Structure 1
Amino acid sequence: MSDDATIHGHEEILKQTIELFRSFPAPPGINLELPPPSSKTLDIQFEEYVPGKSLTATLMVPKHFGNAVGLLQGGFIAALFDDLMGPLSYLIARSPTTSMELTTHFLRPVFVGEQLKMTATVRKAGRTAVYLAAEAYNGGGKLVATAMSTIQVIPLPSA
């Protein structure tokens, strides 16, 4: 899924995303913290960005994301998908965005200590909304969860 414009590596993808985000006007009284605290907590590592198409990331599931029986708690999977789709939506829309809907399907358990590989893909990008799909695979290459998201594009004020 690579082409000449593909960007590889967490730091390069993060740099491009932060540069774009800093170009957006911040609401009065808001100091942007980039990456945001939620992203620092989830600690996904961006691997590949194919402009206009997809964003891939990995994560080693930490113990503190586990439930009582040592499985990744489902809410964290949803948050991981949201944290992957957010930066992709900014890069696609070239404008601030916000999630309007996120539907997650859990297909098999994910164990603490397991590696996840997640890819979000653009299904349709419009002026007012971006539609994304995502999949998560375990270290054995098995599909463990899917998600679909509708993301609102927030128009930038005219200069």
Structure 2
Amino acid sequence: MFEKVMQLDFWAIAEGRVPPPPSARLVGWRFLGLDDGGILSCSFEATEALLNPAGLVQGGILATMLDEAMGPVVAAISRERIFTQTLEMKISYMRAAGIGTIFGEGRILHRGRSIVFLEGRLLDPERKLIAIATATARVTPIDLLKKRRSGSTDASQLRSHERRRLRAS
């Protein structure tokens, strides 16, 4: 399963040529667009399976939605075959969410060589703010990630590859 997911790229997912990864499917992620300002728009479907005992979307599920709104924006804008690994995320919850469509937005605040700072928002159908997040993520080329997973590259080769990639950018 991992190898199959690793061969995917953002635009193949966004255009419906391949299914999204399991975490995105869990929350009903759908790509809606990428505007000229670099904001990725998406939507999620909150189902009964995602509710807490109070009948509201569980906070950790909203965190997953925020991560799924922010993570793909780097690949969408750069058109690189990359994976963004969230290193830290800060979330502020503004209001509860129930069953139905939740809209997400993700944007890049700043991109360095291998670290990116992101911002994400979740909105209800009336476009009222549900939650906002900022995150720091590591940008890793998918080919390098495949090598790490297969064990075919040792740590010194990874550092060497990363230095070459950084010099090229």
Of 88, 102, 112 in structure 2, the residue corresponding to residue 101 of structure 1 is 88
Higher deviation after alignment, 79-88 or 147-156: 147-156
Of 61, 64, 67 in structure 1, the residue corresponding to residue 52 of structure 2 is 67
- Tell me how far 1:87 sits from its aligned partner: 1.4
Give yes or no for the alignment of 1:152 onto 2:135: no
Question: Which structure would you say has the larger Rg?
Answer: 2
Q: Distance in 2 between matches of 1:35 and 1:47?
A: 14
Change (3 A) 1:60 1:97: closer
Q: Where is the helix percentage greater, Structure 1 or Structure 2?
A: 2
Give the AA of the match of 2:123. Answer: Y
Count of aligned positions? 132
Change (3 A) 1:92 1:128: farther
Structure 1 alignment gaps of length 5 or more: 1-13, 20-32
String of CA shifts for 1:94-125, please: whole Å, max 9, x gaps.
23321111111111111123x21111111111
String of CA shifts for 1:120-147, please: whole Å, max 9, x gaps.
1111112111111111111122111001
Q: Could you say which residue in structure 2 is the equivalent of 1:26? A: none
Q: Could you say which residue in structure 2 is the equivalent of 1:137? A: 123
- Tell me how far 1:17 sits from its aligned partner: 5.0
Give the AA of the match of 1:112. Answer: I
Q: Distance in 2 between matches of 1:130 and 1:15?
A: 17
Q: How is 1:36-55 mapped onto 2 (pairs within 5 angstroms)? A: 36-50=21-35, 53-55=38-40
Q: Distance in 2 between matches of 1:64 and 1:82?
A: 19
Q: Tell me the TM-score normalized by structure 2.
A: 0.68
Q: Distance in 2 between matches of 1:83 and 1:54?
A: 13
String of CA shifts for 1:3-49, please: whole Å, max 9, x gaps.
xxxxxxxxxxx761559xxxxxxxxxxxxx96221122221111012
Q: Distance in 2 between matches of 1:15 and 1:64?
A: 26
Percent identity between the two aligned chains: 27
Q: Is 2:66–2:133's contact at 8 Å kept on the other side of the alignment?
A: yes
Q: Distance in 2 between matches of 1:120 and 1:135?
A: 7
Q: Tell me the TM-score normalized by structure 1.
A: 0.71
Q: How is 1:7-26 mapped onto 2 (pairs within 5 angstroms)? A: 16=11, 18=13
